Amino acid sequence: MITTEPARGSLLAIEPMDARQISRLLQLARRMNPDRPRPLLRGKRVLLLFYEPSTRTRSSFEIAAKSLGAMTTLVLSSGSSIEKGESLLDTGYTLRAVGADVIVIRHPQAGAPLLMASHLDIPVINAGDGMHEHPTQALLDAYTILRHKKTLKGLRIAIIGDIYHSRVARSWMHLLSKFQAQITLCGPPEFLPDVASEFVSGVHITRTIEDAIRAADVVMVLRVQKERLAGVKISLQDYISRYQLTLARLKLARRDALLMHPGPIIRGLELTWEVADCPQSAIVEEVKNGVPLRMAVLAAALGKAN
């Protein structure tokens, strides 16, 4: 049972945040530069606790922490006492006892970061929890869009692929709808059930990828999350022919449209090789922007945002 409010400084989800809080983090990220390290977090210990695979989220949190002068320790579920059956909370208490000042956690169960933040007195940052949210990914993507577009307001954003199983898509939709972007979702029915009704307004569903992409300012593509399909059977061949992003389909978007994908990308499935490397692709830039954004998130979590 959750007994207390989440620890101060925690970042658990985009949903409860307001546009001002989000804008403040994005502004702070603009002042962060990993090539000009600042000792804002000197002496602080950042615990990276990962119960699921990760490449870009984990490495960028680590580099962000080190760029601010913090120490980092990585704990993976395999090779730790988690394998021996230690509970999530006992793992949290252990990491607190060894001196963690902040815990960054990725977990397969929705709500795991909230549970931890509700029982510890140090901030907890959600690095992706089940099918719930991945707030720092949405923040770094908003940061990336705003390096190319003046405002999120009124932007036409197409989100294509496995939306239902995607915590990134949930965080994107919460964030983008707070800034009045126009969101269009597209994917097979197995990947969309009821997802638009979770959001207040500004989210539409289209049947064909062509309709979704036409005149879009931003095209966001998602991976088919095979590990979360649990019983859902889809034909990959069929998926590719209906929903794969090809250069011909991308041409329907505005000429200055941005192509985004949170990664990992599976070339030849949700997008073609050429699309992944085309000039409109911001995929590598998103990864790069993850570092200053996560520097801002860590600094804010530890009250060093000035």
Among 132, 167, 170, 174, binds ligand NCD (CB under 6 A): 167
Interface with ligand NCD includes 263 (CB under 6 A)?
yes
Q: Which is nearer to ligand NCD, 107 or 134 (CB)?
A: 134
Name the minimum Å distance from CB 8 to ligand NCD: 25
According to CB under 6 A, which residues from 50 to 69 bind ligand NCD?
56-57
Buried b (16+ CB within 10 A) or exposed e, 196-234: beebeebbebbeebeebbbebbbbbbbbbbeeeeeebeb
Name the minimum Å distance from CB 106 to ligand NCD: 7
Relative to beta strand 258-260, strand 45-50 is unpaired
Name the minimum Å distance from CB 5 to ligand NCD: 26
Relative to beta strand 203-206, strand 218-221 is unpaired
Interface with ligand NCD includes 130 (CB under 6 A)?
no
Q: Which is nearer to ligand NCD, 40 or 221 (CB)?
A: 221
Name the minimum Å distance from CB 153 to ligand NCD: 25
Among 113, 128, 202, 292, binds ligand NCD (CB under 6 A): 128
Interface with ligand NCD includes 168 (CB under 6 A)?
yes
Q: Which is nearer to ligand NCD, 137 or 144 (CB)?
A: 137
Among 45, 132, 134, 174, binds ligand NCD (CB under 6 A): 134
Name the minimum Å distance from CB 42 to ligand NCD: 28
CA distance 28 to 22: 10
Place of tokens 């006992």: 90
**Contact pattern for ligand NCD over residues 16 through 45, marking x by CB under 6 A:** ------------------------------
What does the CA dihedral 258, 262, 264, 265 come to, rounded to 10 degrees?
A: -30
Phi/psi for 276 (5° steps) reads -60, -35
Say if CB 72 and CB 80 are below 8 A apart. no
Interface with ligand NCD includes 228 (CB under 6 A)?
no
Fill in the amino acid letter for 58.
R
Interface with ligand NCD includes 108 (CB under 6 A)?
no
CA distance 258 to 116: 36
Q: Tell me the number of residues near ligand NCD by CB under 6 A.
A: 11
Phi/psi for 128 (5° steps) reads 115, 115
Alpha carbon of residue 213 to chain centroid: 22
Among 6, 188, 262, 292, binds ligand NCD (CB under 6 A): 262
Q: Which is nearer to ligand NCD, 10 or 57 (CB)?
A: 57
Round the CA-based radius of gyration of the chain to a whole number and report it: 19
Fill in the amino acid letter for 235.
S
The residues near 165 (Cβ < 8 Å, ≥ 6 apart) are 131, 191, 225, 228, 229
Q: Which is nearer to ligand NCD, 48 or 168 (CB)?
A: 168
Name the minimum Å distance from CB 222 to ligand NCD: 6
CA distance 20 to 27: 10
Binding residues for ligand NCD (CB under 6 A): 56-57, 128, 134, 137, 167-168, 223, 225, 262-263
